[in-house]
Amino acid sequence: MADSGAAAAKSGAGEPAPTPVAIAISGASGRVGRRLLALSAADSGLRVTHALVSRGSSSDGEPVGKLAPEASSLDVRATSRGLGSGPTVLVDFSTPAACVEQATAAAELGIGLVIGTTGLTDADMGVLRKLSDKVPVLVAHNFSLGVNLLCRIAGEVATALGEGFDIEVVEAHHNRKVDAPSGTALGLARAIAGALDRDVAKDLRCGREGPSCKRTPREIGMHSLRMGSVVGDHTAHFSSDFERIELTHRAQSRDVFAAGALRAAKWLARREAGWYTMDDVLFGGRASV
C-alpha cells in the first residue's frame, strides 16, 4: 500500500489554499468589463470587491449577475461611487477620463493598476507614469498572451534576418472598428522597427495607392482589413527574393483580452511600485499565481 503521508504531500492535501487576489473592475458594464466579471467568477484565484460603472449608468446598483449571467455567484453590485478599501489591484477598461480619475484614487489607497483602457493621451500616460512611483502599474494595448509573444518573436526574427527582407504587417478586424491601423499592429511594427534600428515615424507606410508605390529598403508596410466579425488577426511578413516567413496570431474570442488582463492582475499583486508591461508578465520574474 502506498504511503498515505507521501500521497498527501504529493497532492498538496492539508496545505492552505492560496489567498485569492482581490480586484476591482472599472468599466464593468462595458464589453470587456462584462467578460472580466464572468471569468473572475470562475477563477478561484480571484475575488471581485468592486464593479465600477460610470455616473448615471443604468447598471448602477444592480447585481453584477445582470451584467454577466456567469457572474451571478458574486455578491457584488455595480457602483458609480468609486473605490473603497479592499482590492489589491484595479483592472480598468473604462474611458480615458474615468481611467485617470479612478487610477489616481486607487493609487492613493495603495492599489495596483492594470490598465487596458484605449485612447489615452500622452498627458494621461504621464499621470499613470507618475502613479507608478507609488504603486505597481501595468499598461497594455493588448492583453492577449499570444499577441505579446508575437511581438517578441517578430522582433527576434527581424534581428536574426537583418537587412535584405521586405517587411509588411497586415491586420484584420470586424467591420465596426473605427480606427486603423490597430494599436496592436502599430505595436508589432514598433517591435520590428526597434529590432532593426528603424524609426516608425519615418519608415512605416500605411497602404499603397497611385503610380509611384515602389517600396524603399527600410520601409515597413502596414495594411488594414475590415470585414465581418473578425475579432483580430495580425501577421508579420518577412520576404526576400528566395523565401518568405509569415508570423500570424488570430484571436478567436474577445475573452482572450479579459483572460490576459486577469493573469496580469494576479501577477501584479505581488509586485513593488514601478512601471510594468506584458513582457514582464511573460518573461520577467514570476510570482506564484
How many C-alpha atoms does 219 have within 13 Å on its Cβ side?
Answer: 15
> In whole angstroms, how far apart are CA 93 and each of 24, 67, 90, 115, 269?
11, 15, 10, 7, 18
Sign of CA dihedral 43, 44, 46, 48: positive
Catalytic residues: 173, 177
Helix residue ranges, H only, the chain: 4-11, 31-41, 96-108, 122-131, 145-161, 183-195, 200-203, 255-268, 278-283
Residue 71 DSSP symbol: G
How many C-alpha atoms does 81 have within 13 Å on its Cβ side?
Answer: 7
Question: Are the CB atoms for 37 and 28 separated by under 8 Å?
Answer: yes
Block residue for cell numbers 520590428 = 192
Of 24, 39, 23, 70, give the one whose Cα is nearest residue 259: 39
